């Protein structure tokens, strides 16, 4: 009886169009190349936010909020009728971007699945039912007579997770336990001979597994198509775009200093102490100590300083003061000044060089005598501990940071350091040393408004 | 390969050498050695180790004549050998029984570990790694569990670390019963092998096709289903049972196994309430001051009665379950105590990943010299780890029985005989029967499919 009713309801609600697409087939839409890229970048911001949230161990309801916010922030199209198109197009573009290696596929699969999970939870019941029927789930509902047999156990499970016993008209599905691993892991279902009894209200887990399976298969297919034809066919149009997207840095480029960031030579030491991320602090201290930095270090620190608003003249004075103590003023003018002006776009091709993002710094490969790179990645644990200690990171926070480092989450480690040093949370995470700097300045100034920089 | 964990570092292998550097004469001063000697190990692999049965098991029916058999199956399995001098050979693979048997006899490993079946022959993994797309991955692996009595040190007083005795072994019996019945009744698995690890614990191999094909997430889900301990090695292990009721699985474990084991065995054998420092451990688990001081007052007089543990346990239960207490938190207290002292403690990491290696059954434990024999879960109460044959004992039996060796079935006449027979009849035969059926039916389905695809 319950089954009948549920089918009728589904049938009635077939006209409810869910706002959550299943991305079954690629859209037959004309897309302008710019939109292609812009949409993809917007979706990528959402996915990066999700993977950040997950690795910070956010709880399900926090994740739900996060996903809702990220989606509103990045995926709304000015014309709301276009929302769905943007959603679908961006998904398919990223599918292309992330189908190409096992590692990329794994990341995309898990973040897209999380995105789907939380978006699904945010749907209305009707829309959830519609999606459910779109999946054509092959599971049998539990018949009345069978339900009587297991009712007691099912209610026991309900009480064990703090829910009221299921009412007579609740619908249960019998599902192989492998397909609802999260419900099994948390003992939220009754399991008998390999079959889990899953309540209608627990179907998120079912649908999500289904979604994941479909997407996983689709990614393998896309990869095949990509290597066998698309890459070649699109080599002048899409291919370069696809290849650059997977490693793109998504934040602002910081090549123009922000308002907060005006600094002058006289307080550079104090500012370095209070607001430089560890990578820059280290370079700064080494420069003061050795009166020299190798090329990689000069680039990383030099562009950063440009980004925080050190004027060209000040920059020249700053580097000269240090270098001339080691190599003499004359050699500095001859050999090094050019590079600094170059950074500021005053020499050579006259392009304005952009300060390095964390991603770029983290993937650099410093060798002997180099001091650039990201300390979280490139320092030994011992040195990192000492450096963090000097920054005033307390014991407990320090262990957290080290923990992230061990798991290779360098930017998170840096974020936790930021949080410990400033004693506030930094939900956006650290993606760029200049962002670290400007966030730090903002916080310090709001704490100490009587003393504006 | 990165990210592969290896079960080692636990039983560091010290191998007793020969006295005065002499080659020992086989069959003579055997009893003088309680470690493992290479020469005896050679004899063991020559006369006792059931190579053919191990091969049949690891082939899962794919060594047959049926056209549905996958003849590459056994060859894609990783074995790893620990040799003398701690040399560790990973990614060993063998094309068939004779290669497998010869390698073991020749290399004479102190320990054989079994890894997953990979998608390609693990010995050729480098060739595939060139293609860049990580194609060398585990394809199948038994669902395995590793339970180690040294993880119970806070609830046993008779031994600690690697030691075990008959007083604390019931903890392992409890683990076998609880896990085994859930694997069968809840998860629907049928082909389950329990093995004594040779020293301080048990291993479990779930071999159903469905179990072998589980991915890591699903393996973790099962391991988590079994987990009631919160906290980790550094913090205090703690059972906390919340909610208005217990999950049916936990109820069954409690009613069928834990309660009796606690009240009839461990309470007494471990003297859990007999003197102050022990009962304080238990009182600390009751979050209500007035109740604990009431019990303390009752127990203060050191009246020695024979079953003082039982008397005190009854008093504790009566007080906690009298209905006098109004605190929700106390409802589960009695159960929490019983769970803390008896519930299985699984090494989660071993179960979670397909590529975790686990020691093969019928190995000789390098420290104790005992054979890693199968345990019958139906009669696991009767299993006595201290009565498990050692290598020296086997060789001695063989010697007494008949000084000349008589080919392959030497185990038959020794105390290893029952173990091998049990392995064959209770585990291997039913397993192979169902493998055969599975191969036939999936071959049939494939034929059907190709017929259908021809018919359009
Ligand atoms: S995470 Fe970024 S800002 Fe922080 S130290 Fe590394 S590179 Fe610098
Ligand atoms: Zn003991």
Residue A414 annotated as part of some ligand binding site? yes
Q: Do A101 and B134 touch (CB under 8 A)?
A: yes
Write the residue with the smallest CA distance to atom 4 of ligand 1: A414
Q: Indicate the SS3 state at residue B408.
A: helix
* Interface contacts A/B by beta carbons within 8 Å: 67
Q: Are residues A99 and A52 in the same domain?
A: yes
For A160, the closest of B133, B134, B246 (CB atoms) is B246
Supply B125's token pair: 């993994």
Nearest to A197 by CA among A150, A162, A136: A150
Supply B270's token pair: 């471990």
Helices H, strands E: what count in chain B?
Answer: 18, 11
Q: What is the pLDDT of residue B7?
A: 37
Q: Where do runs of H (alpha helix) occur along B187-247?
A: 209-212, 216-225
Q: What is the pLDDT of residue A193?
A: 97
What ipTM did this prediction achieve? 0.88
Confidence class of residue A16 from pLDDT cuts 50, 70 and 90?
very low
Q: How many residues does chain B have?
A: 456
Within an 8 Å CB–CB cutoff, is residue A157 touching chain B? yes
Who contacts A321 (Cβ-Cβ below 8 Å, separation ≥6)? none
Tokens 């047959």 appear where?
A: B64
Most B CBs within 10 A among A104, A151, A153, A160, hence the mutation to make, goes to A160
Tell me the torsion sign for CA atoms B272, B273, B275, B277. Answer: positive
Catalytic residue among B11, B121, B142, B146: B146
| Residue B304 alpha carbon to ligand 2 centre in Å | 23
Q: Which of residues 238-277 of B touch A (CB under 8 A)?
A: 243-251
Q: Is A257 part of a structural domain of the chain? A: no
Q: In which domain, by residue range, is A123 found?
A: 2-133+208-245
Q: Are residues A237 and A305 in the same domain?
A: no
Q: Which residues of A touch B244 (CB under 8 A)?
A: 159-160, 162
What gap in Å lies between CA B141 and CA A153, rounded to an integer?
32
Q: What is the CATH number of the domain that holds A14?
A: 1.20.930.80
Q: Are residues A76 and A54 in the same domain?
A: yes
Q: Are residues A443 and A297 in the same domain?
A: yes
Minimum distance, in Å, between the CA of residue B290 and any CA atom of chain A? 28
Q: Is A198 part of a structural domain of the chain? A: yes
What gap in Å lies between CA A253 and CA A276, rounded to an integer?
17
Residue A358 annotated as part of some ligand binding site? yes
Mean pLDDT, residues A380-401: 90
Q: Which residues of A touch B132 (CB under 8 A)?
A: 101
Within an 8 Å CB–CB cutoff, is residue A408 touching chain B? no
Please answer whether residues A191 and A184 qualify as being in contact, where contact means their C-beta atoms are separated by less than 8 angstroms. Answer: yes
Provide the b/e sequence for B329-363 (b: ≥16 CB within 10 Å). ebebbbbbbbbbbbbbbbbbebbbbbbbbbbbbbb
Q: What is the pLDDT of residue A140?
A: 78
Q: What is the pLDDT along chain B (456 residues), one digit of tens a residue?
A: 333 333 333 333 323 333 333 333 333 333 334 457 888 999 999 999 999 999 999 999 999 889 999 999 999 999 999 998 778 999 999 999 999 999 999 999 999 999 999 998 998 887 776 555 557 889 999 999 999 999 999 899 999 888 999 999 999 999 999 999 999 999 999 999 999 999 999 999 999 999 999 998 899 999 999 998 765 433 344 777 777 789 999 999 999 999 999 999 999 999 999 888 899 989 988 888 888 999 999 888 766 666 889 999 999 998 888 765 555 567 688 998 999 999 999 998 899 989 899 999 999 998 899 999 999 999 999 999 999 999 999 988 887 765 555 555 667 778 899 999 999 999 999 999 999 999 999 998 888 877 665 544
The residue of chain B nearest to residue A180, with distances taken between CA atoms, is B218
Query: Among the three residues A216, A245, A274, which one is the final residue of a domain in this structure?
Result: A245
Q: What is the pLDDT of residue A85?
A: 86
Can you give the pTM of this predicted structure? 0.66
Supply B454's token pair: 């021809």
Please answer whether residues A276 and A263 qualify as being in contact, where contact means their C-beta atoms are separated by less than 8 angstroms. Answer: no
Q: Do B245 and A103 touch (CB under 8 A)?
A: no
Query: Among the three residues A205, A228, A254, which one is the final residue of a domain in this structure?
Result: A205
Q: Are residues A119 and A43 in the same domain?
A: yes
- Tell me the percentage of chain A whose pLDDT exceeds 90: 29
Q: Is A359 part of a structural domain of the chain? A: yes
Q: What is the pLDDT of residue A242?
A: 80
SS (HEC) of chain A: CHHHHHHHHHHHHHHCCCCCCCCCCCCCCCCCHHHHHHHHHHHHHHHHHHHHHHHCCCCHHHHHHHHHHHHHHHHCCCCHHHHHHHHHHHHHHHHHHHCCCHHHHHHHHHHHHHHHHHHHHCCCHHHHHHHHHHHCCCCEECCHHHHHHHHHHHHHHHHHCCCCCCCCCCCEEEEEHHHCHHHHHCCCCEEECCEEEEEHHHHHHHHHHHHHHHHHHHHHHHHHHHHHHHHHHCCCCHHHHHHHHCCCCCCCCCCCCCHHHCCCHHHHHHHHHHHCCHHHHHHHHHHHHHCCCCHHHHHHHHHHHHHCCCCHHHHHHHHHHHHHHHHCHHHHHHHHHHHHHHHCCCCCCCCCCCCCCHHHHHCCCCCCCCCCCCHHHHCCHHHHHHHHHHCCCCHHHHHHHHHHHHCCCHHHHHHHHHHHHHCCCCCCCCCCHHHHHHHHHHHHHHHCCCCCC
Q: Which residues of B touch A186 (CB under 8 A)?
A: 224
SS (HEC) of B122-162: HHHHHHHHCCCCCCCCEEECCEEEEEEHHHHHHHCCCCCCC
Cα–chain-centroid distance for residue A32? 26
Query: Among the three residues A205, A223, A257, which one is the final residue of a domain in this structure?
Result: A205
Q: Which residues of A touch B255 (CB under 8 A)?
A: none
Q: What is the pLDDT of residue B68?
A: 92
Sheet with B192-196: strands ordered across: B143-148, B201-206, B192-196, B374-375
Within an 8 Å CB–CB cutoff, is residue B21 touching chain A? no
Q: When comparing pLDDT for A198 and B453, which is higher?
A: A198
Q: Are residues A49 and A180 in the same domain?
A: no
The ligand 1 atom nearest the CA atom of A433: 3
Q: How many domains does chain A have?
A: 3
Q: Is A349 part of a structural domain of the chain? A: yes
Q: Is A389 part of a structural domain of the chain? A: yes
Q: Do B243 and A161 touch (CB under 8 A)?
A: yes
Minimum distance, in Å, between the CA of residue A139 and any CA atom of chain B? 17
Minimum distance, in Å, between the CA of residue A176 and any CA atom of chain B? 9
| Residue B430 alpha carbon to ligand 1 centre in Å | 59
Residue A279 annotated as part of some ligand binding site? yes
Q: Do B185 and A192 touch (CB under 8 A)?
A: yes
Q: Are residues A412 and A367 in the same domain?
A: yes
Confidence class of residue A6 from pLDDT cuts 50, 70 and 90?
very low
Q: What is the pLDDT of residue A253?
A: 57
Q: Is A442 part of a structural domain of the chain? A: yes
Q: What is the pLDDT of residue B44?
A: 94
What gap in Å lies between CA A269 and CA A252, rounded to an integer?
26
| Residue B110 alpha carbon to ligand 2 centre in Å | 26
The pick from A376, A419, A421, A440 for probing ligand 1's pocket by mutation, whose C-beta has the most ligand atoms within 8 angstroms, reads A376
In this structure, of A75-84, A411-420, B404-413, the range with the lowest mean pLDDT score is B404-413
The ligand 1 atom nearest the CA atom of A436: 3
Q: What is the pLDDT of residue B18?
A: 33
Within an 8 Å CB–CB cutoff, is residue A163 touching chain B? no
For B133, the closest of A101, A178, A185 (CB atoms) is A101
The pick from A383, A410, A412, A437 for probing ligand 1's pocket by mutation, whose C-beta has the most ligand atoms within 8 angstroms, reads A410
Minimum distance, in Å, between the CA of residue B246 and any CA atom of chain A? 5
Q: Are residues A183 and A212 in the same domain?
A: no
For B247, the closest of A101, A187, A192 (CB atoms) is A187
The rounded mean pLDDT for chain A is 82
In this structure, of A3-7, A211-215, B183-187, B202-206, the range with the lowest mean pLDDT score is A3-7
Q: Are residues A213 and A179 in the same domain?
A: no
Is residue A271 over pLDDT 60?
yes
Q: When comparing pLDDT for A379 and A61, which is higher?
A: A379
Q: Are residues A377 and A325 in the same domain?
A: yes
Ligand sitting nearest the alpha carbon of A277: 1
Whether B78 is catalytic is yes
Please answer whether residues B358 and B203 qualify as being in contact, where contact means their C-beta atoms are separated by less than 8 angstroms. Answer: yes
Minimum distance, in Å, between the CA of residue B95 and any CA atom of chain A? 29
Q: Which of A107-111, A425-429, B321-325 has the highest mean pLDDT?
A: A107-111
Whether B347 is catalytic is no
Beta-strand relationship, B358-359 and B238-239: unpaired
Q: Are residues A75 and A11 in the same domain?
A: yes
Backbone angles phi, psi at A236, to 5 degrees: -100, -15
Within an 8 Å CB–CB cutoff, is residue A184 touching chain B? yes
Residue A99 annotated as part of some ligand binding site? no
Q: What is the pLDDT of residue A364?
A: 82
Which residues line the pocket of ligand 1, CB cutoff 6 A? A 277-279, 358, 361-362, 374-376, 410-411, 414, 430, 433, 436
Whether B16 is catalytic is no
Q: Is A427 part of a structural domain of the chain? A: yes
Q: Are residues A364 and A327 in the same domain?
A: yes
Nearest to B309 by CA among B332, B278, B352: B278
What gap in Å lies between CA A283 and CA A371, rounded to an integer?
6
For ligand 2, a single-atom ion, the residues with CB < 5 A are: B 158-159, 165, 167-168
Most B CBs within 10 A among A166, A175, A185, hence the mutation to make, goes to A185
Q: Is A35 part of a structural domain of the chain? A: yes
């Amino acid at each position: 009886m319950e089954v009948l009713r549920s089918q009728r309801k589904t049938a009635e609600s077939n006209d409810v169009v869910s706002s959550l697409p299943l991305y079954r087939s690629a859209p037959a839409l004309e897309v302008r190349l710019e939109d292609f890229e812009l949409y993809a970048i917007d979706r990528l911001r959402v996915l990066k936010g999700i993977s950040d949230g997950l690795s910070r161990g956010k709880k399900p309801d926090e994740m739900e909020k996060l996903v809702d916010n990220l989606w509103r922030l990045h995926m709304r199209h000015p014309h709301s009728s276009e929302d769905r198109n943007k959603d679908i197009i961006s998904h398919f573009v990223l599918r292309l971007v992330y189908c190409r290696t096992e590692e990329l596929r794994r990341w995309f699969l898990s973040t897209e699945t999380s995105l789907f999970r939380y978006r699904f939870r945010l749907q209305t019941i009707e829309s959830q039912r519609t999606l459910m029927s779109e999946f054509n789930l092959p599971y049998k509902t539990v018949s009345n007579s069978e339900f009587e047999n297991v009712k007691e156990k099912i209610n026991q499970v309900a009480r064990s997770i703090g829910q009221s016993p299921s009412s007579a008209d609740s619908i249960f599905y019998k599902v192989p336990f492998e397909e609802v691993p999260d419900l099994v892991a948390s003992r939220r279902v009754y399991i008998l001979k390999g079959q889990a009894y899953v309540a209608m209200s627990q179907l998120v887990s079912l649908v999500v597994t289904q979604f994941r399976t479909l997407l996983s298969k689709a990614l393998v297919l896309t990869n095949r198509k990509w290597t066998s034809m698309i890459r070649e066919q699109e080599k002048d149009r899409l291919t370069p775009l696809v290849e650059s997207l997977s490693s793109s840095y998504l934040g602002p480029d910081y090549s123009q200093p922000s308002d907060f960031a005006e600094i002058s030579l006289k307080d550079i030491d104090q500012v370095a102490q209070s607001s430089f991320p560890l990578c820059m602090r280290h370079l700064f201290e080494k420069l003061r100590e050795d009166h020299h930095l190798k090329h990689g270090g000069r680039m990383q620190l030099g562009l950063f300083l440009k980004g925080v608003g050190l004027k060209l003249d000040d920059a020249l004075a700053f580097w000269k003061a240090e270098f001339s103590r080691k190599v003499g003023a004359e050699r500095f003018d001859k050999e090094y000044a050019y590079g600094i002006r170059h950074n500021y776009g005053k020499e050579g091709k006259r392009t304005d060089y952009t300060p390095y993002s964390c991603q770029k710094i983290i993937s650099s490969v410093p060798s002997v005598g180099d001091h650039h790179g990201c300390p979280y990645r490139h320092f030994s644990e011992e040195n990192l501990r000492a450096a963090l200690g000097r920054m005033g990171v307390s014991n407990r926070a320090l262990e957290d940071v080290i923990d992230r480092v061990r798991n290779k989450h360098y930017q998170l480690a840096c974020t936790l350091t930021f949080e410990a040093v400033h004693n506030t949370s930094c939900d956006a995470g650290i993606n760029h040393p200049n962002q670290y700097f400007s966030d730090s300045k903002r916080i310090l100034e709001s704490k100490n408004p009587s003393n504006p920089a | 390969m990165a990210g592969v964990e290896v079960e080692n570092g636990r039983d560091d292998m010290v191998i007793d050498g020969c006295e005065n550097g002499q080659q020992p004469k086989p069959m003579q001063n055997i009893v003088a050695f309680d470690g493992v000697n290479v020469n005896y190990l050679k004899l063991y692999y020559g006369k006792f180790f059931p190579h053919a049965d191990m091969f049949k098991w690891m082939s899962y029916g794919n060594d047959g004549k049926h056209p549905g058999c996958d003849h590459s199956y056994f060859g894609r399995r990783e074995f790893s050998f620990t040799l003398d001098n701690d040399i560790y050979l990973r990614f060993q693979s063998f094309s068939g029984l004779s290669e497998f048997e010869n390698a073991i006899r020749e290399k004479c490993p102190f320990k054989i570990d079994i890894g997953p079946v990979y998608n390609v022959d693990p010995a050729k993994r480098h060739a595939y790694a060139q293609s860049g797309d990580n194609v060398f991955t585990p394809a199948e692996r038994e669902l395995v569990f590793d339970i180690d009595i040294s993880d119970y040190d806070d609830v046993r007083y008779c031994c600690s670390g690697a030691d075990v005795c008959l007083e604390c072994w019931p903890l392992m019996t409890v683990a076998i019963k609880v896990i085994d019945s859930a694997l069968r009744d809840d998860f629907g698995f049928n082909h389950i092998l329990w093995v004594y690890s040779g020293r301080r614990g048990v291993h479990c191999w779930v071999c159903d096709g469905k179990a072998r094909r589980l991915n890591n997430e699903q393996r973790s889900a099962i391991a988590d289903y079994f987990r009631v301990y919160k906290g980790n090695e550094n913090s205090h292990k703690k059972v906390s049972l919340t909610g208005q009721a217990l999950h049916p699985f936990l109820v069954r474990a409690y009613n069928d196994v834990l309660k009796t084991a606690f009240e009839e065995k461990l309470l007494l054998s471990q003297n859990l309430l007999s003197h102050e420092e022990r009962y304080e451990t238990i009182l600390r688990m009751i979050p209500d001051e007035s109740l604990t001081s009431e019990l303390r007052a009752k127990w203060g007089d050191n009246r020695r009665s024979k079953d003082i543990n039982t008397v005190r346990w009854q008093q504790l239960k009566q007080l906690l379950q009298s209905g006098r207490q109004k605190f929700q938190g106390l409802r589960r207290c009695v159960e929490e105590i019983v769970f803390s002292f008896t519930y299985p403690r699984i090494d989660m990491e071993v179960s979670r990943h397909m590529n975790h290696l686990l020691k093969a059954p019928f190995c000789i434990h390098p420290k104790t010299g005992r054979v890693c024999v199968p345990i019958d879960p139906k009669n696991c109460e009767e299993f006595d780890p201290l009565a498990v044959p050692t290598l020296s004992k086997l060789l001695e039996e063989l010697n007494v029985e008949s000084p000349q060796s008589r080919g392959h079935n030497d185990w038959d006449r020794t105390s290893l005989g029952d173990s091998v027979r049990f392995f064959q009849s209770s585990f291997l035969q039913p397993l192979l029967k169902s493998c055969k059926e599975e191969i036939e039916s999936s071959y049939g389905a494939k034929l059907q499919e190709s017929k259908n695809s021809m018919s359009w």
